[in-house]
């Protein structure tokens, strides 16, 4: 998106684009009141927008409310007015930029562009009541871990004061570099946790993607328990293949969710698998049922 278009969009949002209230959606929520009461409330459920891209955002908002939860992951400013209209929360936000996970905070070449984008969107997030903003290290490109960590710290030192002031948390995603994201730097929870320790701010934490970390290093429950204080968000996905999280894959997600609950975690768990069922929303309903421990 061009800078001018992005600024125009953000000004429009600031001017009050979030104020929507439609009776049909309120009626739909009341209709599903019984389903809401069936969820245990130990896990805050969400779903990643891109995995149900065949639906319009309006359709996805209606679907998640009908299933019984009210959050969608990985949305940006252009999406928020629609979500607000339906009373659906953005549990993990993007900036208005391209959010290229290959060109991230570990490389000074990209710092100014990224810093500008984050500083622009953080106050808008705060106005909308959103808390989590995703970020990435980017590829190594022959860079050693220590240099990459220091470069990330340099960039984040320019962003975090504004994030802290606005109650926003920068959340760095852990991705596997073994299969899906070759050469990605933040590919082990220990590296990410060390970055959190060095930064020393409650407004910088990790997105623990269970699918990615099972591929990269396994030992999921032990790592969750050992590093839970540095984790602000979770993603799911069946291993291998990133499809449904049922018994067709190798993880027992109900047991993983119980371990997460035992750490005292109060954030969101977002379903981020690619559904294969003929009725894709049946896959989502199943996943919510598996994770609702």
d(CA 38, CA 19): 30
For 222-229, what is the mean pLDDT? 98
Q: How confident is the model at residue 180 (pLDDT cuts 50, 70, 90)?
A: very high
Length of the chain counted residue by residue: 293
Q: How confident is the model at residue 154 (pLDDT cuts 50, 70, 90)?
A: very high
Pick the CATH number of 3-291 from 3.40.50.10860, 3.30.70.60, 3.40.50.720, 3.20.20.150: 3.20.20.150
Which pair of structure tokens corresponds to residue 21? 């209230």
Residue 123: CB atoms within 10 Å:
15
Say if residue 99's pLDDT is above 90: no
Which pair of structure tokens corresponds to residue 119? 């500083």
Q: Convert the pLDDT of each residue in 56-80 to its tens digit.
A: 999 999 999 999 999 999 999 999 9
**pLDDT at res. 292:** 98
Q: 231 near 208, Cβ under 8 Å?
A: yes
Q: Convert the pLDDT of each residue in 253-269 to its tens digit.
A: 999 999 999 999 999 99
d(CA 221, CA 223): 5
**pLDDT at res. 96:** 75
**pLDDT at res. 25:** 36
Q: Convert the pLDDT of each residue in 1-36 to its tens digit.
A: 445 555 555 555 555 544 443 333 334 333 334 444
Q: How confident is the model at residue 120 (pLDDT cuts 50, 70, 90)?
A: very high
Q: How confident is the model at residue 38 (pLDDT cuts 50, 70, 90)?
A: confident
**pLDDT at res. 145:** 97
For 216-220, what is the mean pLDDT? 97
Q: 65 near 30, Cβ under 8 Å?
A: no
Domain residue spans in the chain? 3-291
């Amino acid at each position: 998106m061009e800078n001018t278009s992005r600024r125009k969009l953000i000004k429009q949002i600031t001017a009050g684009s979030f104020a929507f209230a439609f009776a049909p959606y309120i009626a739909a929520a009341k209709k599903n009141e019984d389903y809401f009461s069936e969820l245990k409330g130990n896990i805050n459920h969400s779903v990643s927008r891109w995995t149900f891209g065949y639906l319009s955002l309006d359709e996805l908002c209606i679907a998640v409310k009908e299933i019984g939860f009210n959050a969608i992951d990985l949305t940006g400013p252009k999406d928020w007015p629609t979500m607000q209209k339906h009373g659906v929360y953005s549990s993990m936000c993007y900036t208005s930029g391209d959010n290229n996970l290959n060109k991230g905070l570990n490389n000074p070449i990209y710092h100014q562009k990224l810093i500008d984008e984050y500083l622009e969107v953080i106050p808008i997030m705060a106005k909308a009541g959103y808390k989590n903003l995703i970020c990435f290290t980017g590829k190594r490109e022959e860079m050693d871990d220590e240099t990459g960590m220091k470069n990330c710290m340099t960039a984040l030192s320019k962003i975090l004061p504004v994030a802290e002031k606005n109650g926003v948390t920068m959340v760095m995603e852990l991705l596997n570099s073994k299969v899906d994201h070759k050469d990605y730097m933040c590919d082990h929870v220990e590296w990410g946790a060390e970055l959190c320790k060095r930064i020393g701010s409650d407004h910088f934490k990790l997105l623990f993607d269970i699918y990615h970390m099972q591929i990269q290093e396994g030992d999921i429950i032990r790592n969750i328990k050992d590093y839970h204080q540095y984790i602000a968000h979770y993603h799911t996905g069946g291993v291998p293949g990133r499809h449904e999280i049922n018994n067709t894959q190798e993880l027992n997600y109900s047991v993983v969710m119980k371990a997460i609950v035992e750490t005292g975690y109060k954030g969101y768990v977002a379903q981020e698998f690619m559904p294969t069922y003929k009725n894709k929303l049946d896959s989502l309903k199943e996943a919510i049922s598996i994770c609702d421990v």
